[in-house]
Structure 1
C-alpha cells in the first residue's frame, strides 16, 4: 500500500511541478483562442474549464485506463512505475502539446499539426492513418457495447428484437451520427461531464473497497520488482504497449484538438490537457492496484487475474467492482462498460470528420458540408460494424495491430512537438526525450510481438511457451531510437543553418 500511495502522491506532485514546467515551456498567453476568434457554433464553441477537463478525460479514457491497467497488473506492481513516470514525463507532455499546438494552429487536427512540423509526406501519411484509425476505433466502440447490452438483456430474461446485436448496433450508430453532426456543446458538452464524474467515482469506490477490506493487500514495488507475468512475457516492451491509456496513448492526440477548439483562454491548457492525463494516470494506478490486490500474488501473479481478463473487458470490470463495492459497484460497472466505450466512439467519428474537413478544406459551419462527411464516415463504420455483427467481416486480426500503431502515433506526435519547440527556440528536450523512449518501445515491440515480426522471429518450447528473440529486438530497438534522435538533431542543425543563411 505504501508504494501505491507514493505513486499517487508523485502523480499529483507531477501535475503541480513538471506539468507547470511543460506549461511554462510552451508559454500560454492572452491571445484570442480559436473558440473565440472563429466560433462557428458547431466545433468552435467556448465551454467552461471544468467541462473541458471532464470531456477531455472521458474522450481520452473510455475503458482504456481500466482494462489496460488490469492487463498491466499481470506484470505485478512494477506497472505502477510505468503508469506514474509515463504519465508525468511522456503522456502529460504528449497530451498537452497535441492540444496546445493544435490550439495555436486554429484547432487543426493532429495530422495537419504533424505535417506542418515534420513535412508534407508525414502529413499525408498521418491523414490516412488517422482517419482509418478513428473509424476503426469508433466501429469497435459500437460493436462492443451492442454485444454487451444484448448479454445484459438475455440475462434479464428479455427476448425478441432487444436481444439482437444488430438492433443495438444500428441504434448506437444512429446516435453516433447525431453526436458527430450537431454542435459539440449540445450532447458532448452537456452529458459527458456527468459520465466523466462516473469514471472518477468508480475509481474512488474501487480504492476505498480495497483499503477497507482486510483480505486485500496491494503488494509493494520493492518486494516485487521483477517480472511476475504468468506467461513470462517480457516487461520491455510489452508492458509499455499494453498500458497505453493511463501512461501515454497516441489516440489522445486525435482527441485533444476537439477541446483545443473550445478553450476560452490558453492558460486553461495545463488543467485541461496535462491535468486530464494525470487524472487518467490516477485512475489507471487504482485499477492496476486492484489487479494486484484482488488476486493472489505468488512467485508470479495467480492465473486468477489472467482468467478474469480472458473473459473480456466487461467480465474483468464487473469482477473488480463487485468485489470492492458490492451492488453499487455492479451498477457502476454496467454503466461504465456500456457508456465509456460509446463516449469514446462518437468522439472518434467526430475527430474523423474534422480530420477530413481539414484535409479537404471543407467548412463545417453549413450543415450540408457536415453531411458530406458524416454520411461517408458513419457509412463506412456501419458497413464494418454490421458486417462484423453478421459474420461477413472479421477485422479482429487488423485490430490486433492497434496497440502498436497507437504507441507509434504517440511517438510521431512527440517528435512533432519537439520540432515545434525547436522552431520556437524553446527547450525541445522536454519532448525529444520521451519521443526517443517511445521510438525504442515501438520498434522493439514490432520485432517481438507475435502479430508483427515476432511471429517469424520468435521460437517455442516443446510445451508451446514462446521464446522471445530479445537478443535481436533489444539492440535494434535502441539503435532505431538513436537513429531517429540523430535525424532529429541533424534536422535542427539544417534548419538553423538555413535561417542563418
Structure 2
C-alpha cells in the first residue's frame, strides 16, 4: 500500500507541485556559468543517479531500521510525509538554486529569510555538514569491518574513505562523481531489490511477517515507554520522510542540468525513490524484529547485518551491505563538496584553479580529522554525533521549506505547499529540543515535560509562520532575475 502511495503521489501531487513551481525553457546554470569544474552539463539519467546517491545516505536504511520500532504506522507515515513534505522540499531546493545560478543553500536562505537568519544558518549548516562527513565515514567503515571480521581493517577503511572524499571534493564533478555513480547506483538498487524479493517470498510462507507480533508489541516504541512518535519519529527517520541535508545536495546537480524540465524527475522523483528504499528496509527491520525479538535492543548496524544474513545469505548479503556502504559514501563525498562550494560562495573564492580548491578544502580536512578521532573514542561519543546530526538535519529542512514558501509567495504562487510542512517541521524540531535530554534517552536538551514542550513549540512555530508571511510581503515582486542582476541579497 505504501509503495503504491509513493508512485501515485509522484504522478499526482508531484505534478501539482511542478505546475506551481513552473519550470520553463530558460538557460540553466551549466550553460550560463560553465567552468568545467562544478558547472558542467551532464546527461539527465546521470543527474538523477547522482541526486539519488547524494541524498540517500544511511538514513533510509539505518534510520528506518530504528524508526520501524514505532510499528506498522511507519508504513503510512513514510509515503505521506515523503510526498507532501520531503519530495516537495527537494524540488523547491533544487529549483531555487537553479533560478539563482546554482546558488548554495545559505545564499537561498539569505535571499528569502534575510541576512540575520542567514548569519546563524550558514554557520549551523556548515557544522552539520562536518558532522555528516564524519558520520558517513564512520558508518561505512564499521559495516565493512563487520562484514570481514577475520581482519582488523576499521582504521584503514576510515583512511581510504576519507582520501576518496578529498579527491571527490577537489576534482571536477564529471571526472569522479559523474563516472562512478552509475556503477554505484546499480549495486545499491540490486541489493535493495534483492531484499524486496526475499521479503515477498518470505510472506508466502509467513503472511504475518510484516504485522506487529505479540513479542514485537512488548518492546515497540510508544509514548508510554518514553518514545513519543511526535517528535521522535520525524527525527529518527529523516531521509525517508524529509531531510534538510538534501537541500545542501540539490545545488550540485542544479549546476549540471541542461533544462529545468528535468527538475521534477531529478529532485521530486529521486526523493520518491528514496522513500521506496526506506519502505523496503523498514519492512526488513520489522521482519527481523518479529523473527528475532532480541534484536530490538541491539545497534541498528547489527540489525542491518542480521537482515542481509537471514534473508539473502552470506554472498548476496555482502553485496547488499556494500550497497548500503555506497549510500553512506556517496552522501559523505558530496557533503564535503557542498562545504567547499558554500565556503567559496560566502568568501567569493574562485574555484576553477585547483590550488584554490585545495586551500578551501584544507581546513575541512583538519576539522573532520579531529571529529573522527573524537567520535571513535567510544560508542557514546559516536551516538552523540549521530543524535546532533539527526535533529540538526531537520532544522535545515524547516528552514528550507520556510524559505521555499517565501520564494513562492513573493512570486505570486501558492506557497502553502511549503508553509504547512515547514511549520510542522518547525514544531517537530522545537518540541524535540525542548523535550529531549539524557533522562529522555537522547542528547543534551532542555528536558521539559512533553506537553509543555508541545505548547511552547506550537507558539514559537506560529511566530515563525508570521515571520514567513512578513518576509513574503516585504519581498513581494522581488524576482530571481533582479537578485541575479544586482546581487542585492
Indicate whether the TM-score tops 0.5: yes
Q: Show the counterpart of 1:363.
A: 350
Q: Which residue of the other structure, out of 418, 424, 446, is the alignment partner of 2:405? A: 418
SS of 1:29's equivalent in the other structure is: coil
1:100-138 CA-partner distances (Å, limit 9, x unpaired): 100111111101111111001122222211221112211
Q: Would the alpha carbon gap of residues 334 and 220 (structure 1) be closer, same or farther in structure 2, given more than 3 Å must change?
A: closer
> More displaced, 185-194 or 266-275?
185-194
Q: Would the alpha carbon gap of residues 389 and 220 (structure 1) be closer, same or farther in structure 2, given more than 3 Å must change?
A: closer
1:316-337 CA-partner distances (Å, limit 9, x unpaired): 2221122222234312233134
Q: Show the counterpart of 2:485.
A: none
Q: Show the counterpart of 2:198.
A: 209
Q: Which residue of the other structure, out of 456, 460, 464, is the alignment partner of 1:484? A: 464
1:88 pairs with 2:77:
no
Q: Show the counterpart of 1:196.
A: 185
1:339-362 CA-partner distances (Å, limit 9, x unpaired): 322221111110100000110111
1:103 pairs with 2:95:
no
Post-superposition offset of 1:483:
2.2
Is the contact between residue 415 and residue 432 of structure 1 (CA under 8 Å) also seen in structure 2? yes
1:306 pairs with 2:300:
no
For 1:344 and 1:454, the matched residues in 2 are separated by 27
Q: Show the counterpart of 1:247.
A: 241
For 1:411 and 1:396, the matched residues in 2 are separated by 23
Summarize the alignment of residues 310-349 of structure 1 with structure 2, pairs less than 5 Å apart: 310-313=298-301, 315-349=302-336
Q: Would the alpha carbon gap of residues 226 and 316 (structure 1) be closer, same or farther in structure 2, given more than 3 Å must change?
A: closer
SS of 2:221's equivalent in the other structure is: coil
1:15-54 CA-partner distances (Å, limit 9, x unpaired): 1111111111111111110112212111111111111111
For 2:207 and 2:60, the matched residues in 1 are separated by 21
Gaps of 5+ in 2: 480-489
Post-superposition offset of 1:250:
0.6
For 2:61 and 2:255, the matched residues in 1 are separated by 28
Q: Show the counterpart of 2:50.
A: 55
Is the contact between residue 65 and residue 245 of structure 1 (CA under 8 Å) also seen in structure 2? yes
Q: Would the alpha carbon gap of residues 474 and 453 (structure 1) be closer, same or farther in structure 2, given more than 3 Å must change?
A: farther
For 1:497 and 1:256, the matched residues in 2 are separated by 25
Is the contact between residue 391 and residue 429 of structure 2 (CA under 8 Å) also seen in structure 1? yes
Q: Show the counterpart of 1:278.
A: 272
Q: Which residue of the other structure, out of 161, 165, 181, is the alignment partner of 1:176? A: 165
In the superposition, the TM-score normalised over structure 2's length comes to: 0.89
SS of 2:190's equivalent in the other structure is: helix
Q: Which residue of the other structure, out of 9, 13, 17, is the alignment partner of 2:8? A: 13
1:139 pairs with 2:137:
no
1:255-311 CA-partner distances (Å, limit 9, x unpaired): 1111111101001010000000000011111111222233329xxxx743423xx23
For 1:339 and 1:495, the matched residues in 2 are separated by 42
> More displaced, 93-102 or 119-128?
119-128
Q: Would the alpha carbon gap of residues 365 and 25 (structure 1) be closer, same or farther in structure 2, given more than 3 Å must change?
A: same
For 2:166 and 2:468, the matched residues in 1 are separated by 41
1:195-237 CA-partner distances (Å, limit 9, x unpaired): 223222222211211111113635469x999994274511111
Q: Would the alpha carbon gap of residues 32 and 91 (structure 1) be closer, same or farther in structure 2, given more than 3 Å must change?
A: same
Post-superposition offset of 1:442:
1.1
For 1:497 and 1:446, the matched residues in 2 are separated by 36
1:45 pairs with 2:34:
no
For 1:226 and 1:164, the matched residues in 2 are separated by 38
Q: Would the alpha carbon gap of residues 413 and 24 (structure 1) be closer, same or farther in structure 2, given more than 3 Å must change?
A: same
Is the contact between residue 33 and residue 266 of structure 1 (CA under 8 Å) also seen in structure 2? yes
Q: Show the counterpart of 2:388.
A: 401
Post-superposition offset of 1:447:
1.7
For 1:50 and 1:36, the matched residues in 2 are separated by 18
Q: Which residue of the other structure, out of 203, 221, 233, is the alignment partner of 1:229? A: 221
For 1:332 and 1:114, the matched residues in 2 are separated by 40
For 2:20 and 2:177, the matched residues in 1 are separated by 31
Gaps of 5+ in 1: 1-5, 459-468
Computed over aligned residues only, the root mean square deviation of the Cα atoms, in angstroms, reads 2.7
Is the contact between residue 29 and residue 266 of structure 1 (CA under 8 Å) also seen in structure 2? yes
SS of 2:372's equivalent in the other structure is: helix
Is the contact between residue 165 and residue 389 of structure 1 (CA under 8 Å) also seen in structure 2? no
> More displaced, 76-85 or 188-197?
188-197
For 1:399 and 1:318, the matched residues in 2 are separated by 19
For 1:148 and 1:97, the matched residues in 2 are separated by 34
1:472 pairs with 2:461:
no
In the superposition, the TM-score normalised over structure 1's length comes to: 0.87
1:364-388 CA-partner distances (Å, limit 9, x unpaired): 1111211121222222212322454
Is the contact between residue 255 and residue 348 of structure 1 (CA under 8 Å) also seen in structure 2? yes
